[in-house]
Structure 1
Amino acid sequence: MIHESTVLDALMDVIDPELGINIVDLGLIYGIEIDEEGDDRGISIQFTLTYPGCPVGDLIQSEIVRVVTEATGLPVGATIIWNPPWNMERMSEAARLELGYPI
């Protein structure tokens, strides 16, 4: 059985190239659904970007699919969503410190 923590651990390897921080600590992951049975088996990941029009969206999306597929062996779909909008409060304490924001 694949747990959400396995998926999140894999997603820690996806780095936002503009900020140099992984997308989990940036708070870009909005949802993970895991279905290991039947014809529709796979993992669905909803994520966002730090701002609409971010030029690295396609790169981040393809990296999500790659790292999670490698970690789980299941097909992966990654969908960009915009609601709720991302803001700095979604970042982990470690990400805020690294970027020099107050905790």
Structure 2
Amino acid sequence: MTAVPRTDRADRARRVAAGVADPEIPVLTIEDLGVLRAVTVAERDGREHVQVDITPTYSGCPAMDAIRDDVVLALTADGFGDVDVRLVLSPAWTTDWMSEEGKRKLVEYGIAPPTGRAAASGPIRLALSVRCPRCGSLDTREVSPFGSTSCKALYECRACLEPFDHFKVI
């Protein structure tokens, strides 16, 4: 039997962890969302050990327990025996970490993605309107600053009359 180089195992572990779906928005992976921060594979006590670092979208996010369990299950199902998932709080998560692919998936799912950058320098950009992910209209209004989760706001489109979540820029 040929030994698999450690870098190949680390790449594989990262791909497996990256493919774990977000439990609140299942069309997104934790990589799309920017929650997956690091995956390392090292030897510990003569055994292969995988460490995965994840950052919550906000402090106290209830999805983190499910994400942790799903990461452990995905990696052990793929043959990784010793898996540890760490919650990393600093630096704090930002929508700047979301992938463009993730933002595209949000629109297809009916959620308006964040626009702009949270860590922008210079003048602070204000969103004057949010584009409806269903019909594309800019004639929308905020119904509530909190949507189905704390990181989203509830909006209504005045053109198609459909409600939708908008992922806040954080």
Structure 1 length normalisation: TM-score? 0.84
Q: Could you say which structure has the higher helix fraction?
A: 1
Q: Deviations over 1:24-78 (max 9, x none)?
A: 1111111111014643531011111111111121111011111012213331000
> In structure 2, what is the equivalent of residue 19 of structure 1?
25
Kept after mapping to 1: 8 A contact 2:35/2:56: yes
Inter-CA distance 41–3: structure 2 relative to 1 (3 Å threshold): closer
In structure 1, list runs of 5 or more residues that go unmatched.
none
Alignment partners' CA distance in 1, 2:20 and 2:37: 15
Residues matched between the structures, number = 103
> In structure 1, what is the equivalent of residue 61 of structure 2?
54
> In structure 1, what is the equivalent of residue 95 of structure 2?
88
Structure of greater Rg: 2
> In structure 1, what is the equivalent of residue 74 of structure 2?
67
Query: 1:8-47 residue pairs with structure 2 within 5 A?
Result: 8-20=14-26, 21-36=28-43, 38-39=45-46, 41-47=48-54
Which of structures 1 and 2 has the larger relative contact order (alpha carbons within 8 angstroms, sep 6+)?
A: 1
Per the TM alignment, residue 6 of structure 1 is displaced from its structure 2 partner at its CA by 0.9
SS of the residue 1:15 aligns to: coil
Structure 2 length normalisation: TM-score? 0.54
Alignment partners' CA distance in 1, 2:91 and 2:32: 17
In structure 2, list runs of 5 or more residues that go unmatched.
107-111, 117-170
Give aligned-pair identity as a percent: 25
Query: 1:2-13 residue pairs with structure 2 within 5 A?
Result: 2-13=8-19
Inter-CA distance 53–74: structure 2 relative to 1 (3 Å threshold): same
The alignment yields a C-alpha RMSD, in angstroms, of 2.0
